[in-house]
Chains A and B, each alone.
Chain A
Amino acid sequence: MLRVALSLIAGLIFGLGLVIGGMADPAKVQNFLDVAGTFDPSLAFVMGGAVVVTFVGYRLAFREHSPLFAEQFHLPTAKEVDARIIIGPTLFGIGWGLSGFCPGPAITSLSLMANGTLIFVPAMLAGVGLARFVTQKRLPKRLETTGGTA
């Protein structure tokens, strides 16, 4: 129950970060990706701010023997650079460029009810379900480690 409540709060903070940082606007994301045109470097600051805070905060968190509300830290164990770590991000990057949406901003934008979002999110969930099905079938043991990465 504590975990569920914490997740709700973390989701809210995450979503506010996306909105305040401008990542909930696909036009801003695509402008970040458009170096040759209407370039807007703002998103580098979102990434930078997030990585710095997470880098420092994780080091503090990992001083604990275990998470405060759970038995253990769930960290990805896969280390090797395999085909999936190339193919997946390749497909993702194309979809990200086409739409300006990655998963977090897309879900966050649902409540804003733009037509494009209402098409994108169900399609994205279908893709998630399909990938979950494919990876589960082929690599039953690795799903828990790699599927839980992000």
Chain B
Amino acid sequence: MDVITPFTPVASTIGGALIGLSAVLLMLFNGRIAGISGILARIFPPYTGSDAASAVAFVVGLMAAPLCYSAVIGGPVPQTVAANAVLMGIAGLLVGFGTVYGSGCTSGHGVCGLARLSRRSVVATVVFMAMGFATVFVMRHVIGG
């Protein structure tokens, strides 16, 4: 069941550097943290600033990325997504609620927060990483056998 994925240190480092570049551009020009959960939250009311339009634009850019990638590379983006509707529904709720309640996700805490040496972000990153490792361990090696 578990799909084996190849180790891609070069592509992953390049991808990470691009994420960093995006975060730096967003701070240098717009003065904003590149945190996806925060950007998603800003799409919802109440609108405290005028930046809902910027948030929507960022999301549109994200969604356009796989299409641009495929157009250039000429092939599909490799992806294996679980199809279990109950599992994905529960996971989605947990991710959406947890990231906004905890003020950040992998990008806001794990990238921007760590780069700012924020103590809160270090704590948040350690906690979600630990829970991620624990959840996959239980799912694949305790329940899944």
Residues of A within 8 A of B (CB): 2-28, 30-31, 33-38, 40-43, 45-55, 57-58, 60-61, 64, 66-76, 78-81, 84-104, 106-112, 114-117, 119-132, 134-136, 143-144, 146-150
Residue of A with least CB distance to B8: A42
* Closest chain B CB from A144 CB (angstroms): 6
Q: In the complex, are the beta carbons of B130 and A109 less than 8 A apart?
A: no
With A12-B62, A127-B96 given, can you name 13 additional A-B contacts, CB distance below 8 Å? A11-B59, A13-B21, A14-B19, A15-B64, A25-B79, A46-B16, A47-B110, A57-B21, A73-B27, A73-B31, A93-B130, A103-B106, A150-B33
> Which residues of B in the span 89-114 have a Cβ within 8 Å of any Cβ on A?
89-114
Give A5 to B54 CA distance when docked, in angstroms: 8
> Which residues of B in the span 1-47 have a Cβ within 8 Å of any Cβ on A?
2-9, 11-42, 44, 46
Contacts of A40 in B (CB 8 A): 4-7
Q: In the complex, are the beta carbons of B5 and A10 less than 8 A apart?
A: no
Q: List 25 A-B pairs, Cβ < 8 Å.
A: A4-B53, A14-B19, A16-B18, A17-B16, A19-B66, A20-B14, A22-B5, A47-B16, A51-B20, A57-B24, A58-B24, A67-B27, A67-B31, A71-B31, A84-B103, A85-B102, A88-B102, A88-B124, A90-B98, A96-B128, A98-B91, A99-B95, A103-B96, A116-B82, A120-B81
Contacts of A144 in B (CB 8 A): 48
The 5 A-B residue pairs with the shortest CB-CB distance, nearest first, are A88-B102, A150-B108, A21-B15, A150-B35, A11-B61
Give A98 to B40 CA distance when docked, in angstroms: 21
Q: In the complex, are the beta carbons of B79 and A9 less than 8 A apart?
A: no
Contacts of A49 in B (CB 8 A): 12-17, 19-20
Q: In the complex, are the beta carbons of A14 and B67 less than 8 A apart?
A: no
Contacts of A87 in B (CB 8 A): 98, 101-102
Contacts of A132 in B (CB 8 A): 41, 44, 100
